[in-house]
Amino acid sequence: MKTMSIRLIAIVLVIVLSITWPALAEGEGANEAMDKAVSAFEKSGGELGVLVVAHGSDEDLWCQQVRQVVANVSLPYPVELGFLEFVPNESIDDAVERLESQGIRDIIAIPLFVSSYSSHIQEIEYVLRLRETLPSGEDLARVNTTANITMTRALDDHSLVAYILADWVSQMSSDPSNETVVILSHGTDEEGDIRSQVCCQSWLAEEVKAYLRYWASPSIKLRDVKYAFIHGNQTLYPDLTVESVMRNASKAGGSSEDGNGGVIVLPLMVAGGSITDSQIPKLLEGYSCRYDRATLASHPNLARWIENRVRCEIGEGMGGVLIIDHGSSDPKRAEAVRELAGQVNQMLSSMPVAVAFAENAAEEETIPGGIARLLDQGARRIIAVTLFTGNTVDHEEARDEVYSAMQSINQTKILITAPLYEGICAEVKGPIDDHLLIADLILDRAREVSIDATNETLILAPWGSSTYFEESELLAKSLVERIKASSEFKDVGFGFMEYQGSPNIREAVEKAQGEAVIVVTVNSMGTKYVDDLIAERLEGLNYTHNGKGFYGYSENLDPHPNIARWIEYKVAEEVRA
């Protein structure tokens, strides 16, 4: 087997919210999310300890792998391991007692489980007195303690997990363009939990693909990364069984260069045992594939993940926000984006904010320049938010440039050669979507030129896309429905200004003739070009047009406050994740 090298940069997340905290409301900001992440440990003044909770097994080899992971954890706090079941004298209660005997009054519990969405997590919460009821009729003893206990999320789709899987793939891959990776996890048949697990696995698969493409040296561009559940809900997700995914992955392409098949199978398991050694190989019988029995416990990142969870829980580290606009030869556009950045900076007072432009940018406001400025201000995690008005090629190129910049910036800042847990990461949010804040922004622009909304038809005029026209149509339809739900206009529709997509703007306005029509262009900035384009497309028709877009016109900048709020929401969403 040909071994390919990979340089993987691990992630120090700014904040990881406990799974017991409520989800963010659409209007909740990143500062509020970060405030929630400031642990009670600082306030209590007590000694801090760490409790790692694993499932346990009657196979001592499985337990020994987990013990070794915990032994490899390097933290300035006492760390104890407790098993949920199967391991006498090493229970959760035993571990808590050992911490208390060292004077510990505040405990961070780390569930060493693949998913936060399972009955086992609820059982742990019950045992730790973080919930009052059990999800099943099992009889579990609860800890007898007065210590303050907070529990973090499990492994889920954490980036360090993605790096582990990417690392395994980098060592196994021989013909990437003809290879599909299949990630196998345990799964559950509980409807709510399996839906959440599907979301996590989907994101994890995308991250593995992206990390191999951007961080591997040389780049590894796989045909695809898929996932399947050994014990999933076949009624809800019949296509995510091992049989179905393996069958489709095997059909997708031919054999790799080494003749072992174009499918690489990885177990997403904490430690090795009967499932990895017997059950999975049996499920894979009859398929031409390469199966690696390596589990998370055999990779140093698992101990780093435990350290990361603790550091995040006590609020160590800092994130930075990079606002990316398309850019323009008109300097007023850059001025409008900088004004937006100022508004965001007031909202996110604890995080540095920088702007960058995909085109027509001064060196310090290129995407690499913006990232460098945030790193100079101490950011450890870059959250890039793009302001493109739809999923366009420009958005894709900006996303690629963010990841490329992270590879090429001064290595003393990026720490490529440093230990994995000291790395820097970047996440890209956007483009502008169908959020209620955006719908309200468009509605405000319509009201600016409206005379009698109850007798007017509002037509949205997005650009459209020559590549993602189906997605553009779905986005426009969703925005229309959101605006209808909160608007006084007689009717609301849409039509594309350019590119493919149906209906076009003329068709939409013609259909509404006979009524007063308001046309609002869904674009970043009002320009003469857009106004002339609308006039050309709608020549001979009756309508009133507001082309200010999100930022206003050059001669009268008017950035709508909802754009800054939308950026704040996207940052809060990423912080919570």
DSSP code per residue over 237-305:
-GGGBHHHHHHHHHHHS---TTSS-SEEEEE--SS-SHIIIIIHHHHTTTS--EE----GGGSTHHHHH
pTM, full prediction? 0.58
Please spell the DSSP secondary structure of 15-51, one letter per residue.
----TTSPPPPTT--HHHHHHHTS-HHHHH-PEEEEE
Average pLDDT over residues 548-572: 93
What percent of the chain has a predicted confidence (pLDDT) above 70? Answer: 85
- Report which residue type is found at 509: V
**Owner of token pair 């009859």:** 286
Same domain, 451 and 412: no
Total domain count for the chain? Answer: 3
Q: Which of 98-102, 376-380, 491-495 has the lowest mean pLDDT?
A: 376-380
8-state DSSP, 6: B
Q: Which of 273-287, 294-308, 312-326 has the lowest mean pLDDT?
A: 312-326
The CA dihedral of 62, 120, 577, 292, to the nearest 10 degrees, is 30
- If pLDDT is split at 50, 70 and 90, which confidence band does 313 have? confident
Same domain, 165 and 283: yes
Q: Is residue 135 situated within a structural domain?
A: no
Please spell the DSSP secondary structure of 386-422, one letter per residue.
E--SSS-HHHHHHHHHHHHHHHHS-HHHHTTTS-GGG
Q: Is residue 46 situated within a structural domain?
A: no
Residues 6+ apart with CB under 8 A from 48: 41, 77, 104, 106, 107, 108, 314
Tokens representing 316 are: 């160590």
Q: What's the pLDDT score for residue 500?
A: 62
pLDDT per residue over 182-197, tens digit each?
999 999 999 989 998 9
- If pLDDT is split at 50, 70 and 90, which confidence band does 7 have? very low
Q: What's the pLDDT score for residue 276?
A: 97
pLDDT per residue over 26-73, tens digit each?
444 444 444 444 444 443 445 899 999 999 999 999 999 999 999 999
Highest-confidence segment of 89-98, 135-144, 215-224, 461-470: 89-98
Residues 6+ apart with CB under 8 A from 218: 4
Q: Which of 334-348, 488-502, 534-548 has the lowest mean pLDDT?
A: 488-502
Write out the H or E segment, with its range, that includes residue 110.
strand 104-111
Distance CA 113, CA 124 (A): 11
Q: pLDDT higher for 404 or 369? A: 369
Q: What's the pLDDT score for residue 261?
A: 64
Q: Which of 156-160, 247-251, 504-508 has the lowest mean pLDDT?
A: 156-160
Q: pLDDT higher for 378 or 147? A: 147
Average pLDDT over residues 218-222: 89
Q: What's the pLDDT score for residue 458?
A: 97
Distance CA 402, CA 390 (A): 18
Highest-confidence segment of 133-142, 375-384, 518-527: 518-527
- If pLDDT is split at 50, 70 and 90, which confidence band does 160 have? confident
CATH of the domain at 522: 3.40.50.1400
Nearest CA to 367 out of 384, 342, 388 is that of 384
Same domain, 331 and 394: yes
Same domain, 384 and 452: no
Q: What's the pLDDT score for residue 286?
A: 94
Same domain, 399 and 274: no
Same domain, 398 and 447: no
* Domain end (from 296, 328, 345): 296
- If pLDDT is split at 50, 70 and 90, which confidence band does 308 have? confident
**Owner of token pair 């980098």:** 170
Q: Is residue 167 situated within a structural domain?
A: yes
- If pLDDT is split at 50, 70 and 90, which confidence band does 472 have? confident
Same domain, 567 and 426: yes
Same domain, 274 and 375: no
Q: pLDDT higher for 145 or 414? A: 145
Distance CA 345, CA 100 (A): 42
Same domain, 167 and 287: yes
Q: Is residue 487 situated within a structural domain?
A: yes
108 within 8 A of 48, measured Cβ to Cβ: yes
> Backbone phi, then psi, for 30, in 5-degree steps?
-70, -35
Nearest CA to 42 out of 348, 316, 308 is that of 316
* Domain end (from 227, 262, 296): 296
Q: Is 503 helix (H, G, I), strand (E, B) or coil?
A: coil
Q: Is residue 457 situated within a structural domain?
A: yes
Residues 6+ apart with CB under 8 A from 409: 368, 371, 372, 375
Average pLDDT over residues 399-421: 54
Q: Is 559 helix (H, G, I), strand (E, B) or coil?
A: coil
Q: What's the pLDDT score for residue 204?
A: 92
Please spell the DSSP secondary structure of 138-168, one letter per residue.
---PPP---SEEEE---STT-HHHHHHHHHH
Same domain, 443 and 424: no
Q: Is residue 147 situated within a structural domain?
A: no
Scanning 314-357, the segments in alpha helix (DSSP H) are 331-347
Q: What's the pLDDT score for residue 464?
A: 82
Which domain range does residue 531 map to?
A: 436-549
Polymer length in residues for the chain: 577
Query: Does the structure show a pLDDT above 70 at 147?
Result: yes
Residues 6+ apart with CB under 8 A from 555: 332
Distance CA 332, CA 99 (A): 60
Q: What's the pLDDT score for residue 317?
A: 55
Q: pLDDT higher for 425 or 32? A: 425
| Omega prior to 22 cis, within 30 of 0 | no
* Domain end (from 245, 265, 296): 296
- Report which residue type is found at 508: A
Same domain, 374 and 489: no
Distance CA 27, CA 25 (A): 5
Nearest CA to 111 out of 285, 286, 270 is that of 270
Please spell the DSSP secondary structure of 454-478, one letter per residue.
GGEEEEEEE---SSSHHHHHHHHHH
Same domain, 221 and 275: yes
Distance CA 393, CA 452 (A): 39
From residue 226, give the alpha-carbon distance in Å to each of 158, 204, 242, 353: 17, 10, 11, 35
Burial of 41 (0-12, 13-18, 19+ CB in 10 A): buried
Distance CA 118, CA 322 (A): 35
- If pLDDT is split at 50, 70 and 90, which confidence band does 125 have? very high
Q: What's the pLDDT score for residue 412?
A: 33
Arithmetic mean of pLDDT over the chain: 85
Nearest CA to 222 out of 150, 172, 187 is that of 172
Q: What's the pLDDT score for residue 523?
A: 92
Note every long-range contact of 199-205, with CB atoms under 8 Å and residues 24 or more positions apart, other chains counting.
Answer: 200/115, 200/117, 200/156, 200/157, 201/157, 201/227, 201/229, 202/227, 203/157, 204/156, 204/157, 204/161, 204/162, 204/165, 204/268, 205/181
Q: Is residue 121 situated within a structural domain?
A: no
Average pLDDT over residues 7-29: 32
- If pLDDT is split at 50, 70 and 90, which confidence band does 254 have? low
pLDDT per residue over 366-398, tens digit each?
998 898 888 777 677 889 999 998 877 888 888
Q: Is residue 2 situated within a structural domain?
A: no
Nearest CA to 287 out of 246, 254, 253 is that of 246
